[in-house]
Amino acid sequence: AWLFCQQEELRRLGIRPSRLAGLFAFGAPLDLAAMPWSPPLFLLAGRRDSERFRKANPVTHLKYPDDRPVLLFHGTKDGLVPYRVAVSFFEKLKPLNPNAQLITLRGQTHIQTAGWSHGNEEVRMRLLEWLEKKVAKV
């Protein structure tokens, strides 16, 4: 997700942003500022008021209109990455991207959301349908 949002960095690396046809994420920490403090977050991003934190935060890099499809899944009972993190990211993304979608998984935890490949049939089917409709066209 971080690289998907980093259009300037992609160009610096010689990669056209359009090469990343879309993004799907499950319970991802997409807005670090909306995350509660934790040692892993501190080790990853540093102090909240630091440049390192700003650069590590995917939401910081939402700057340009972008119509590549985005599908976010997040459970309302996620104890690792709170649901509000997905909502915060989505609220900043949606004005820039009409093809962004947030699917709320009511009552699901982080593990249940991430279990799409081996147990969560509803999520797996929604992802496969989205891939066929949105990304296969690219």
Sheet holding 70-75, edge to edge: 23-26, 70-75, 100-105
Reported as a single tens digit per residue, the pLDDT across 62-92 is 988 999 999 999 999 999 999 999 999 999 9
**First-last CA distance in the chain:** 18
pTM beyond cutoff 0.85: yes
Q: What does the domain layout of the chain look like in residue ranges? A: 2-135
Question: What architecture is domain 2-135?
Answer: 3-Layer(aba) Sandwich (3.40)
pLDDT for the residue numbered 138 = 59
Q: Distance between CA 115 and CA 119 in Å, rounded?
A: 6
pLDDT for the residue numbered 137 = 65
